[in-house]
Structures are given as C-alpha cells and as structure tokens.
Amino acid sequence: MNFKEVFKTTLNLVIICLCVGAMLALANQLTAGKIKENERKETKENRKVLIPTADKFVDMFKDDKYKLSDNSIKALEKGNVSALVEGLDKQGKSVGYVVESSKDGYSSKIKVMYSISPAPNFKVMGMLIKDSAETPGLGENIKKPNFKNQFKDKPLDDIVLGDPPKIKALTGATISSRAVTGAVHDSLKNLINTLKNRKSENKGAKKKTEYKVERKTSCDFSLFGSKAYAKVVKVDPELKKLLQADKYVKVIPGAYKAVRKGKFVGYVAKGFARGYNDTIMVGYATDTRLRVLKVRILRQNESPGYREQIGKADFLNQFKGKTLKTLVLKMSENKSNKYISAISGATVSSKAAVMAVRNSLKRLETVLKK
C-alpha cells in the first residue's frame, strides 16, 4: 500500500465518521430533551397514580429543605430504598410516601415503586413495576393488575407470600412474585423504622418507639424434624420398595440401614421439606457410601400440572449418583448433569424435593461420622 492509498482510505473513513457524527449530534439535540422529559413525566405520572390526593411531591433524598439526615439516608439506601418522595396536599400535610426499591428476580432486577400511607398506619396504597425483564408469559405477569392490586391496603406483616390476606404468588412465577414481595417488604420495614425514629426525634420525645417486625418467611426450607413422623411409621413399605433387604436397622428416626442376607447394602431414609402448598415427603435409597440410588416422592400436595411434575421420572432420575456435594439445584440454564436442574414453572417444588433429600442425607452423614 503506498502513501496515496493509505491517504485515500483514511480520508474515506474520516469523512464518513465526521458526517455520521454530525448527524448524530443533530439527532441528539432534537431528542435528548424529549427523552429526559419522558423520564421525568413517567416518574411524575407514576407518583400521581400511586398517591392521587397529593398536590406536591418532595424528594426526601435530594431536596435541601426536606432532606432526611445523612445517616438515615445511608441507612435507607442500605435497606433497599433507592428513592423516597413524600406527597403533600394543598395544606402541606403529608398524605403518603412513594418508595422505590428493587430485588433480583428470576432473570432480571425487578424495580418496584409503591406508595404508603402516612404514619401511623404505613399501609401500602399502590404498587407498580417500574422495570423488569422476566420470562414473558410467566414472570412478566407480575405487571398484571391481578397480581399488582393485591398489595393495596396491606400492612407490612401481610406483604409476604401466602394465602389471602397475604400476597398470593403467581402460578409458575413464584420466584418473580417473591422478588416483588421481598423488595416491598424489605424496604418498607427499613423505612418504617427510619420514619418512626425521625418522628420521635422531631418531637423530642424521650421514648423511642422501636418498631419490631416479626419476620415471616413464607417458604423457608428449615428442617422438618422427622422425629414427629418416625413414631408413626416403623419401616414404611414404600421405603422397602426402594431397596430390597431382609432387615432394616434404625440409624436415626426415619433412616434405616438395609441388610440383605447379612450383608450391608445401603441406607433407606425419608426426608421432608416445605414445598409450595404443603410439606413434601420423599423417600430415597443410597448405597453404602451414601450415594443416592433412587428417589421417590412419597407424599405431596402440590398443584397439578406445574408442580406435580416433581413426581415424574425425568426429574427424579437426575438424583441418581448424586452425593451431598452435588445435590444442588441449578436454574435451567445450566445443562450439565453434575447438578439437578429445576422444572420450569415449579422451581419451589423442585427446590423442596432437593432440600428434602439433602437435609435428611446431611443428618444421616453427621450421625454416621460420629
């Protein structure tokens, strides 16, 4: 390439880049104001929708006159409150707050915006999803009114997943529903604490009202001690089916050593975990080194169609050969056989099935090690 050619190609690109750059600058000039205005308008409209009675909104994070103390802003930001606005009516009386918060959902960060009534009730007045990119048709349904409107007039204690008057999760989208509920719950809890403290500070009251919230996790996978069940069943015939043996020796309640013709062949045990609707009971058999051989769902009361599928062979066969280390639920993106992948639309039930085996196996292992 001689000098002339280099010059020509360079000139070529320089000219086009200048032209395109100029064009973009012009387009930006024309649209930038509008884009910003749209965003502002959207926030404004959302606020108005959330608190229709308010005449004016003041930003409690940025507005110099109404700003909270730096410490409480920091505490709130840590407590999952990303923006806080107070709504005032014509007389300047507080009619509520608009709060923004977020939490990781199934495939995106879900940003929510909600309004609460002023002290002392702090009831949620309305909620909307500002931004989310969940699975269309499943998770994205959190934007639909039948889910959103459940938050109306709920006090903090009711903003957990559960049966009405609590928030009912969407079928097949429990993770997304839980993220929304969690975002509101966490931020509201912190906010109430801060606002109550502030009130007492302002009044100079001696008593500081401590607002304590009993935390209710809707689906916790805590150990469901099998002791309660162990008394009822000796060796469940269902368990016997998993691993044929002539003799079963009790190790701990609900777990038995299987002995066939005087030879130790493995363990059979039961595990429990809280599923979506009810406790799930699983039975499983392991070999002598605690590797899972077979898993069966012995009792469940999950919703038909979606969650009942945990009883199907496709799902249960994944447990084969797993040890305590690899008995982990992975989201469906992970296609490797090393871990167990959840049934889409039934993540909670799948998780419960895995946890049931896991919990029981863990207990068995600790006992055996001793």
Strands 83-88 vs 247-252: parallel, antiparallel or unpaired: unpaired
- Closest separation between CB of residue 124 and other proteins, Å? 25
For other proteins, the closer of residues 38 and 301 by Cβ is 38
- Closest separation between CB of residue 49 and other proteins, Å? 15
Buried (b) or exposed (e) across 231-248, using 16+ Cβ within 10 A? eeeebbeebbebbebeeb
- Closest separation between CB of residue 138 and other proteins, Å? 7
- Closest separation between CB of residue 244 and other proteins, Å? 40
**Dihedral, CA of residue 346, residue 113, residue 132 and residue 187, to nearest 10:** -60
- Closest separation between CB of residue 179 and other proteins, Å? 19
- Closest separation between CB of residue 56 and other proteins, Å? 25
* Adjacent-strand bridge partners of 272: 281
Residue in the block written with tokens 């959902």: 105
For other proteins, the closer of residues 8 and 260 by Cβ is 8
For other proteins, the closer of residues 8 and 62 by Cβ is 8
Question: CA–CA separation, 66 vs 61, rounded Å?
Answer: 8
At CB < 8 A and 24+ separation, what contacts does 55-60 make? 55/87, 55/88, 55/89, 55/90, 56/87, 56/88, 57/85, 57/86, 57/87, 57/88, 57/98, 58/85, 58/86, 58/88, 59/83, 59/84, 59/85, 60/84, 60/85, 60/86, 60/97
For other proteins, the closer of residues 34 and 247 by Cβ is 34
- Closest separation between CB of residue 175 and other proteins, Å? 16
For other proteins, the closer of residues 144 and 241 by Cβ is 144
**Alpha-carbon torsion (183, 189, 195, 201), positive or negative:** negative
For other proteins, the closer of residues 12 and 217 by Cβ is 12
For other proteins, the closer of residues 218 and 349 by Cβ is 349
- Closest separation between CB of residue 46 and other proteins, Å? 13
Strands 56-59 vs 255-260: parallel, antiparallel or unpaired: unpaired
Give residues in contact with other proteins (CB under 8 A).
8-9, 12-13, 16-17, 20, 23-24, 27-28, 30-32, 34-35, 38, 42, 131, 133, 135-138, 172
For other proteins, the closer of residues 30 and 232 by Cβ is 30
Q: Rounded to whole angstroms, what are the CA distances from 26 to 29, 80, 90, 258?
A: 5, 39, 42, 79
Burial of 199 (0-12, 13-18, 19+ CB in 10 A): middle
Strand order in the sheet with 255-260: 247-252, 255-260, 263-274, 279-286, 292-299
